[in-house]
Structures are given as structure tokens and as C-alpha cells.
Amino acid sequence: MKFTLSWLREYLETNVSVDALSECMTAIGLEVESVVDPAKILAPFTIAYVIEAVQHPNADKLRVCTVDTGDGTVQVVCGAPNARTGMKGVFATIGTTIPGTGVKLKSTKIRGVASNGMLCSEREMGISEDHEGIIDLPEDAPVGEPFASYIGIDDPLFDIAITPNRADCLGVYGIARDLAAASVGTLKELDLSPIPGTFKSPLDVRFDFKPHSADACPLFVGRYIKGVKNGPSPKWMQDRLLSVGLRPISALVDMTNFLTIDLNRPVHVFDADKIEGNHLWLKTGCAGAKFLALNGKEYVLDGEMTTIGDANGVLSLAGVMGGESSGCTEETVNVFIEIALFDPVRTAATGRKLNLDSDARHRFERGVDPAFAKPGIEAATRLVQEMCGGEASELVVTGQAPDWKREIAFRPSRLLSLGGVDIGELDCKTILTKLGFNSHEITSDHLTVLPPSWRGDIVGEPDIVEELLRIHGFDNIPAVSLPPVAIRTNSAIELAPRRMSWARRALAARGMSEAVTWSFMSAAHASHFGGVADSLILANPISSDLDVMRPSILPNLALACLRNTDRGYPNVALFEAGPQYSSDGADGQHRIVAGMRAGQAVGRNLYSAARNVDAFDVKADALAALKATGAPVTSLQIKSEAAVWYHPGRSGTLSLGPNLLGQFGELHPGVLTALNIDFPLAAFEIFIDAIPLPKKKAGHTRPAMKTSDFPVVERDFAFIVDADLPAEKLVRSAQGADKTLITNVSVFDLYDGEGVGDDKKSLAIAVRLEPRDRTLTDAEIDAVAQKLVDNVKKVTGGELRG
Amino acid sequence: MHNLDALKSEILASFEAAVDIPALEAARVAALGKKGRLTALMKGLGELGPEERKATGQALNRIKGELTDALDARRNALAGSVLDARLTSEMIDVTLPIRPETEGRVHPISQVLDEMAAIFGDMGFTVIEGPDIEDDFHNFTALNIPPEHPARQMHDTFYFPEREDGSRLLLRTHTSPVQIRTMKAGGPPYRIVAPGRTYRCDYDITHTPMFHQIEGLVVDEHTHMGHLKGCLIDFAKTFFELPDLPVRFRPSYFPFTEPSAEMDIGCERKDGVLFIGKGADWMEILGCGMVNPRVLEMAGVDPKRYQGFAFGLGVERSAMLKYGIPDLRTFYDADARWLSHYGFSAGDVPSLVGGLTQ
């Protein structure tokens, strides 16, 4: 909402500064987004007298001027063709920043002659594009006075944001009323006295609403004015409209725009001679009708839109925009003025469906003052007669204003108990009265408050508290720190998000960087990662490549790897800790930590061979992340059963019995092709919600630590086993030989070349024996070794390699 | 005796002449070994008369002592130069690079959420999460947003397909539904924050279809607007780590709070860079207000007895302001360069005791 200070002063008697007014508006909830104050910008520019202008000794096109600034005499070198002895112009002194060029003036020499200031053109002042010469002021212009106020361009322009509840402040008068309540000025009275009609309107208005749309227009007030003379509106009106960026059109049209901004009252004027028949109708149900609006565009209407028409059809889209066919022109002689109340919801819906915005729609959809129809038409009549003459009819009133009066019980004590500040009862009453509220005392601690017609947003006690607080000032509410709560004996955060957080920092410590990617992705990509249920396809996606909820985080990470590769960073390691979705049900959102490594795990270097990422890189990531969450990683079973988007031979699952905690592996080559990726990718996903809860009774006490000082024995074994035997099985069978003595079994070699036979491989393991109570004898060691070999053979069929 | 001095000089010279430990050992054997020259003289002592034996014996012992000392000195010298030679041969170029490794980073959204959890946790808040996919009731109706409100229209909210009963699920447009879920799950008092992903159908330089919010709710029998101010001023000063941070509260409007306010913090723009703190400008950081009694009522909390405040804060925006990140859209791009530049190290865990920011 834009308006100028002088416009505001039409209704608010005030002498506070522009800055103080701005601060006050923001403090009472009318947030000032910008103030353009030409007086401030142009303050350094004053009126000066050129005592003498003589030819520059060294330059044909320059003149040396002796200037009386009113504050002394200075010498200025000037290049303007019109600089001459005896003229009055606009002077800027040293140190001034010239708005048109941004240059700061310095004391200088031009072709050897000192110059201490500038005589300015309009373009240099930033007030027009004129740069033909310097500003040439009348002889009587007062030397030394500010230029801006002399020519009257010192009117500050405010632009304020109006919240949706403050429909009453979409007019200059409403803003003045709010400011007056905040005691920065006095509100002036409006002249809304009735203008008597001298004849009966030849046009009448009929409501043709069906029962379901009876509330589309509760009240229509019209007036016929005959014998008007339309033409350009007077200068004051044009200046007002121009000052807020509106183009003057003609007196009749300008009146409607003016009244909308001035008194917040949308109004429409029909050229009465273009109305067919002698009545206007209002109805809904004009589905399919075509309507040419005043903006020159044609719209096709539906059956819900409220329309105004005549014998020939639709003339106007109620509350949104008038029609071209009945618009006023220079030739208009007789007019019919419309001031009506239109239903906010229908008006909003009509505008939205047609994508048609207007100042009228903006106001109707927020709600106009239901009691201001008749006063509004008097204001409109007065303006029309003032600018265009004419004779006014009696009012045509159809329908009636809805009952807007309501009583709200208000306890002044709530100011302290809800608002946190005490405002004296007298101050409360003063503020409420200035805001147009009536109040009377019921009991000593209880008021009945009646909000004014223009405050449809005030419905309850907290609204009254807010009104009083905002005028009193939110800044005047003393801040009180929250009182402490009882000592906390457990985490403020639930376990699952904490587990996400632990995994996040563990992965970052492993050299992976955390990404945050969209919760959506394209259906095409999703189809390679399990696909999505129809219920998770967005009805109105932002774009076709973000049209479904992600069933896995991996496609987003893959595309991120691709983007990084394209930017010249091919070897990235990314992870994301976030949601994925399997259904729209309460249990359809899952907490996932997913990671992906692209390109080379080890780049070219001095110390080791470069190599691509593989399943074991991400297996390590998955296990580290799971371990960080507190999952029992040593008990995990690893199987070659990962989801279809993984390489079937190079992937695995991490599970506890039937409970799948994670999966990892290289991505399926077919999936890579579908994603247009031609570099290696390995990934993992862990399912935070599947990790078992820690046993509660265990508490924080750790089991006693058992160590032994007896010598540790390490023995190596190599077994020939079937080529498809999982190494894990061999390890577990070796461990099973003596669960107390054998503390670790690790695979250190795999050989499947010559000498081990077809469909066989050799696995070498290192076995660590840690005796608890004595030093092992050779015989004891041999016995354990034999037991181990026997157990391996029994479980895996493996033979000790000779 | 003259001969003994000459012998000593010869032997000493042979020690000096040895260039390495084996040569020195050979010289030792030649002089002091079983068949060495000095050993031979000592063996010959028995053939001398008592007087002469005593004198010669003493002289020989003295020489033997001197020779042994000289031998040790020469041995140490030779061993030192061997070590020196080895050290020289083992020298490496320490300016060569380390073995390849990468530094992982924590995303600024996670970091800032951890900071916020630390601050609000310290004020007695519990962190709660809610679902991204919501229904009309929790996202709108229960928050006093009527059906005809513009936010409910297609252009702001992401909807899922209409179901058989005519209802449509949606992606939550704010974290406020968690207020409702919290209140419906159990009775007051409440002191919770709810961080999470939120969604709006909007994509331009300052809007993305997904972003993060943190919601706050405090409801009990006594919390008033002074507490709202105190809590949020305490938060802002702690978060930005500026004890003198200027703040102001402006009246505003949200359907679910009454009175409603927006909170601004002081800032200054210099040469296109934004500085938080004392300055001529204000920057909006959050919306807040006293919970509308209708919202309490719809969530099953008695508005005659209970009251309190709620607030909603943009996580990306807070990160942008605190850490000077210029462009919202870059948060979701997973650009390795961006993560490296704006991300945080794994060990940088925010804490009020150990420091919010490293």
C-alpha cells in the first residue's frame, strides 16, 4: 500500500517527522517496507544566484561562474550552454553526492581554473531525464533555500505491508485513524453528509440469486448522475494518483481509483447510456458467458462467479473488474455509480480462477467496511459533481448490510496475564475509543467492547488484548526469560534423531560430506529404486522431474555425484540423513542414512595404486554408521540379498535375523545406464527405525573388562573350500572351535588360481588365541588347531591346504 | 722402556688408521688379542727378575689401559659416523604430499539445527518430530486456517491425489502441525521445539519447494507475552553469539496466534555484505505469537485454563544470516565445493558449555 505524506496529512493533523511516523507505523503493525523522502535526498541542493558567468580562459565550452549560494560566494566551472550572468539555478556544494551520477563532489581544478561545487541539471538531480542545461529558476526564487521544497517535490512516499487481517488499513483514511490512535496526530473529520437526490434513478437493481448464492451480494447502493462532463481530472487528483504510481485516465475513472485508495472503498461507474433496458441484475450461474474486461482481455466465466448485467448480458465481474462495453469515456454524459458489498470468498475464487487481480478484488476478498456503502456513495457523488458537474438521483438501495455488530467480553486483567504488561484502565479506554471501539463497564473487572464496523477481524478477547498492546507498543512489554524447568535426567531429543546425528558425524569423520536433497524426485528415476505408490505422486509438482516422493535417497545422491563429476569433481563421497517414503500412511515415512561414493576410492598417488570405489568401501561406511548408532554390529548377518538397484554379485544386506538394518554394494549397471552415469558408484542405505532399542535394564554400567597377561598365540591356516563359500561361514566355523580361547579370526588371503582346483578357492586366516589362566603348551595349541580344522571341515567341507 | 713407548705409538697409530669397525677389531686383535704384541710382552714378564718384572709390569698395564681407552674412543667415533651415514642414506623429501584423504563435512542445516537444539534444550525444551505428509486438519483446520484461505489453494500447497472419500493429503507447509500432534498426544504443560522439512509450491531466487523450519510451543497456565519476548530474545542473542544484539517485535498476523508478532534483529549492510548486530537496518527472523484459544480448543486443551506462545523460524534463513551464505538454492545442490566451504567438521558439535561455534 503506497501513499504520500501530504495525502496522509489530508486526514491526520501531525507535525512529527517522517522517520517518527515510519517507526510508529511499523510499531503498530503497519510495516513500512520503504520510505522515499526526496527532501532528504535533495537536502544539499539549494537555490543560488549566478553573479557573473564569464568565458573559461582555456576551454570554449566552459564558463567560470561566480555564485552567491546565500551562504557566501563560490567559483564554479560550468559546462552548461545556458549558464549565464544573473540567472538563478540549483547549487550543490563540495561533499554532496549527485543522485543522478552517484559522484561525490570534490574541490577541483578544471583546465586550470578552480571549481568548488556544481550547478545542476534535472538529470543530475535524479528528478527527470532533462540534461539540456542547468536548471533555470524564476528570478524571484529565494537564494539559499532548499530547492526541493521550493518546487514542491518534497513529498515522502511510504510503502507499507498490510497484513491480511487489517483490511481497514487498505485506505489512507484507515491508516490515519490507526496513527491517531497511537497519538502521533489528530484524525480529521470526513464530510460524508448526504447529497439529496433530485430525481428517481431511471435504472434500478435486481438480485437474481439462487438460494445457495444469496449471500454473494448482501447490499448494492447505486446512484444515477445525469449531465456529467467527463475529461481529464484536475491537477490535484492527477498528482495524487501519479504520486502512488497510478496513471490518470479521466475524471470519472480517476474518481474510482482515488476513492479505492483514499477511503478504501471500491466503486464502479457505468456509462448509463450503454446499459440496455432499465435495470441491472446481479446473479451467479453465467457459466460459459464471455466477458471483455476493462483490461482489454476476454474471460470465460463459470457458474459460481457473481456477475452484473443488463438486457444484453454480462457487464461486470462483481468485485473484480468492470467491463469494456459499459465503461466511461470522454463522451459519457450519464453515469450509474455502484457501491456494493461482495462476498469475500466468492470474489477471491473468481479472481483466482481467472488469474485476474485488481485493487477492488484485493479489498473485497479481505472484507470491506459493511457500514460504509452509503457514506461511500456520498463521497463518490461529491467527487463526481466537483469534477464533472451533473445532477444526482435518489439512492437505489437493494438488499441490506449484514449485521456486523457484536459484543466482546474483555477483562482488563488479561493485559497483564496474557500480554505481560499492565496498561491503566483509563489508557485502555482512550486507545479503544480512538480506534473506534465502544466499551462499557459491566463489573469492576469486566468490560463489554463493541468493535467498529471496519474491524471484522476483531472476534475475541485476545484480539482486544492485541489492539491495546500494539498501540501501547510491543517494545513496552518487559521481556521475561522462561522460568527453568526441573532438572533433565534424559536427552531432550528422541533416540531415532540422535542416532541419525551420531551416524552423520561418524560418516563426516570418515571423509563423507553431508548432502540435503529434495524429498521428491522424478517418477522415472524412482522406478529404478522400487517405484512409488500412486498415493505418493504429487498432484501439483513444481516440475516433472520432482513429481513423486522419493522411495530411496540414492537416486538424488547419484544425480548429485553426476553434477559434481560434470563440474570436474568426480571422486565425491556424499551421504544424506533424511526421510524416504513407502506409503502415505502413518508408518510410511522412514528415517534413512544413505551414502554414496563415486569414481576413485584412491586417486593417483605416490604410495599406492589408484583404484575405483567398490562394495567394501561402502560396507565399511555402513558398518561404521551402524556402529555409531549403537547397533550390535558384531552380531550382524551379511547376506548377498540386497535390493534390485544394487549389482547382484557385488552387494549385501546387514541384518539381525529377519530385521534388515542396511544394505550396501555397487550400483546395478542397468541402473547406472538409466541414470546416464558412466562412472563407478557404490552406495549404502541404513534403516534407522529398524535398529533395535537398547536394553533398558542394562543401564550405563559396562561389563567388567577381562584381560590376560599370558602369552598370546597367533596361528595361520589356509583352507581349500568351494568357490562359492562365503568367507564369513569359514570365519564363524573357525571361531566356533573354541569360543573362549579364540578371540579373533581374520581373513588375510584369498587365492583361486592354479593348484587349488576348479570351483575351489583357498582362504587363509589368522587365528588369535588368548589364554586366560595359564601359558599354553605346544600340545594344547595343537589340540585347538586340530579342533579348528575339524570344525571347519565339518561346517564348510574345507580341507587344510597342504 | 723406550721400546714400549714406540710400541704404544705404533699401536695407537694402527687404531687411528682403522677406517671402520672390522679394521679396528683387527688392529685390536693384533695388539691386545691372544697373540697380540702387547699380550706377548705381558706373557714375557715371567722371564724377568722381580724388580724388573714389577716395573715393566706396571708400565705394560698402564699402556694397556691407555690403549683400551683409545680403542673405545675410536670405536665410538667409527660407530657415530656409521649412524651418520645411515641417516644420510635414509633421508626423504618431507615436502612430498601425504597419502590421499578427504575431509567430510556436516551440512549447515544439520549444524544449525544442532545449535538450535542445544539452545532450546538448555531452556527446557524437548525436541519432537512430526510427519512430512499431513492431512488438512493438522496443517490447516486445527491451526485456524479456514478452507477459503489462499494458503489452501493449489498454488501454495503440494497435494496428493484425491482419495475415495474426497480428502487429499498434502505436504506440510510449515512445522506447526506438530503443535497440534503434541497437544493431542497428551496434556499440558508443553515446552517443545519441532524441526523438520516443510514444503511450498514455489521456486525462485528466495524460495525453494522444500525448506526447513523449527517450530516452538510453550503452553502452561502462566506463560504470557513477556515470556515470548524473553525466550526469543535469549535465543537470538545466544544463536548469533551477540550479547548486545538489537531486537524488536512488530505486530503481525497469523491465523494460529493472537496477538501475533514478527521479530527483527539489527543489522547493517556494508558494500553488499550483511552484518548482524548494531546498525541502521532490521532483518526479520521469525514469526511468533500467543497461541490462539481456538487452536488450543481444537487440540483439546482448555483455553480458559491454559495459554502460551508459539513461534516458527526458518532454518536455512538463520544459517544464511549467521554464516553469510548468500543463496538459498545452493543448500540442496550437494556441490562438493559448497559443502567444503560452508560445511562443518565432524568434531564441531555445538554445545552451550563447550561453545556454540568453533
Q: What is the pLDDT of residues B163-206, one digit of tens each?
A: 989 899 999 999 999 999 999 999 999 999 999 999 999 899 88
The predicted structure's pLDDT at residue B151:
63
Would residue B353 count as lying in a domain? no
**CB atoms B168 and A465 under 8 Å:** no
Would residue B303 count as lying in a domain? yes
Point out the residue among B250, B293, B337 whose CB comes nearest to the CB of A474: B250
Residue showing cell 565339518: A794
The predicted structure's pLDDT at residue A488:
86
User: Is the pLDDT assigned to residue B154 strictly greater than 70?
Assistant: no
The predicted structure's pLDDT at residue A38:
80
Digit-coded pLDDT (tens) for B282-309: 999 999 999 999 999 999 999 999 999 9
**CB atoms B226 and A479 under 8 Å:** yes
| Strand ranges, E, within A507-639 | 513-514, 520-521, 548-549, 573-581, 589-598, 600-602, 611-612, 637-639
Give residues 179 to 218 of B whose Cβ lies within 8 Å of A: 191, 197, 199, 201-203, 209-210, 218
**CB atoms B307 and A469 under 8 Å:** no
Would residue B347 count as lying in a domain? no
Digit-coded pLDDT (tens) for B48-84: 888 888 888 888 899 999 999 999 999 999 988 889 9
Give the phi and the psi of residue A598 in degrees, each rounded to 5: -120, 150
User: Is the pLDDT assigned to residue B1 strictly greater than 60?
Assistant: no
Residue A514 touches partner B, C-beta closer than 8 Å: yes
Residue B225 touches partner A, C-beta closer than 8 Å: yes
Task: Please report which helix (H) or strand (E) contains residue A683, including its range.
Answer: strand A681-687
Point out the residue among A31, A482, A537 whose CB comes nearest to the CB of B227: A482
The predicted structure's pLDDT at residue B57:
87
Give the Cα separation of A83 and A770 in Å (integer): 105
Would residue B189 count as lying in a domain? yes
Would residue B357 count as lying in a domain? no
Q: Quote the ipTM score.
A: 0.88
Instruction: Tell me the average pLDDT of chain B.
Output: 92
CA distance to A481, A700, A712, per residue, from A706 (Å): 51, 18, 14
Residue A489 touches partner B, C-beta closer than 8 Å: no
Question: DSSP state, B245?
Answer: -
Claim to verify: residue B61 and residue B176 sit in the same structural domain = no
Residue A600 touches partner B, C-beta closer than 8 Å: no
Point out the residue among B101, B210, B227 whose CB comes nearest to the CB of A480: B227
Rounded to the nearest angstrom, the minimum Cα separation between B82 and chain A is 29
- In single-letter form, the type of residue at position B263 comes to M
Residue B224 touches partner A, C-beta closer than 8 Å: yes
* Cβ-based contacts of A494 with chain B (< 8 Å): 127-129
User: Is the pLDDT assigned to residue B130 strictly greater than 90?
Assistant: yes
Residue B34 makes CB contacts below 8 A (sequence gap 6+) with none
Give the Cα separation of A742 and A734 in Å (integer): 9
Claim to verify: residue B142 and residue B186 sit in the same structural domain = yes
**CB atoms A418 and B224 under 8 Å:** yes
Claim to verify: residue B127 and residue B76 sit in the same structural domain = no
Nearest to A613 by CA among A673, A571, A649, A643: A571
Domain that holds residue B149: 108-342
Point out the residue among B124, B340, B347 whose CB comes nearest to the CB of A485: B124
Claim to verify: residue B148 and residue B220 sit in the same structural domain = yes
Give residues 287 to 306 of B whose Cβ lies within 8 Å of A: 290, 292-293
**Rounded percentage of chain A residues whose pLDDT exceeds 70:** 100
Claim to verify: residue B194 and residue B305 sit in the same structural domain = yes
- In single-letter form, the type of residue at position B328 comes to L
What sign has the CA pseudo-torsion B195, B200, B202, B203?
A: positive
- In single-letter form, the type of residue at position A474 comes to F
- Residue B334 backbone zone (phi > 0: left; psi -120 to 50: alpha; other: beta): left
* Cβ-based contacts of A535 with chain B (< 8 Å): 160-161, 163, 169
Claim to verify: residue B62 and residue B122 sit in the same structural domain = no
Would residue B181 count as lying in a domain? yes
Residue showing cell 503493525: A29
**CB atoms A536 and B249 under 8 Å:** no
Claim to verify: residue B130 and residue B25 sit in the same structural domain = no
Give the Cα separation of A336 and A225 in Å (integer): 6
Claim to verify: residue B120 and residue B212 sit in the same structural domain = yes
Q: Which residue of B has its CA nearest to A573?
A: B104
Ranges of residues in chain A with a pLDDT under 70 are 697-698
Give pTM, 2 decimals: 0.87
**CB atoms B253 and A539 under 8 Å:** no
CA B305 from centre of chain: 45
Nearest to B14 by CA among B31, B36, B32, B1: B31
Claim to verify: residue B82 and residue B159 sit in the same structural domain = no
Q: Which residue of B has its CA nearest to A32?
A: B250
Point out the residue among B131, B253, B261 whose CB comes nearest to the CB of A589: B131
Residue B345 makes CB contacts below 8 A (sequence gap 6+) with A508, B103, B105, B106, B358
Task: Please report which helix (H) or strand (E) contains residue A207, including its range.
Answer: strand A204-207
Point out the residue among A345, A462, A477 whose CB comes nearest to the CB of B148: A345
Give the Cα separation of B277 and B237 in Å (integer): 10
Would residue B68 count as lying in a domain? yes
Mutate to test the interface with A, among B109, B158, B200 (most CBs of A within 10 A): B158
Give the Cα separation of A472 and A27 in Å (integer): 9
Domain count, chain B: 2
Rounded to the nearest angstrom, the minimum Cα separation between B357 and chain A is 16
* Cβ-based contacts of A466 with chain B (< 8 Å): 251, 258-260
The predicted structure's pLDDT at residue A489:
86
**CB atoms B127 and A492 under 8 Å:** yes
Give residues 389 to 418 of A whose Cβ lies within 8 Å of B: 416-418
**CB atoms B336 and A569 under 8 Å:** yes
Give residues 93 to 112 of B whose Cβ lies within 8 Å of A: 96-97, 99-107, 109-110
Would residue B74 count as lying in a domain? yes
Give the Cα separation of B297 and B256 in Å (integer): 12
Give the Cα separation of B160 and A198 in Å (integer): 60
Residue A161 makes CB contacts below 8 A (sequence gap 6+) with A1, A30, A31, A33
**CB atoms B125 and A492 under 8 Å:** yes
Strands A573-581 and A513-514: parallel
Point out the residue among A504, A507, A537 whose CB comes nearest to the CB of B161: A537
Residue B328 touches partner A, C-beta closer than 8 Å: no
Instruction: Tell me the average pLDDT of chain A.
Output: 93
Residue A542 touches partner B, C-beta closer than 8 Å: yes
| Strand ranges, E, within chain B | 126-127, 133-134, 170-171, 190-199, 210-220, 247-254, 257-270, 273-276, 281-291, 307-314
| Strand ranges, E, within B208-256 | 210-220, 247-254
Nearest to A684 by CA among A770, A791, A577: A577
Point out the residue among B105, B169, B335 whose CB comes nearest to the CB of A514: B105
**CB atoms B101 and A508 under 8 Å:** no
**CB atoms B105 and A510 under 8 Å:** no
Claim to verify: residue B240 and residue B179 sit in the same structural domain = yes
Claim to verify: residue B195 and residue B265 sit in the same structural domain = yes
Rounded to the nearest angstrom, the minimum Cα separation between B309 and chain A is 10
CATH value at residue B227:
3.30.930.10
Give residues 136 to 175 of B whose Cβ lies within 8 Å of A: 148, 150, 153-154, 158-163, 168-169, 171
Claim to verify: residue B67 and residue B169 sit in the same structural domain = no
Point out the residue among A493, A497, A513 whose CB comes nearest to the CB of B336: A513
Residue A694 touches partner B, C-beta closer than 8 Å: no
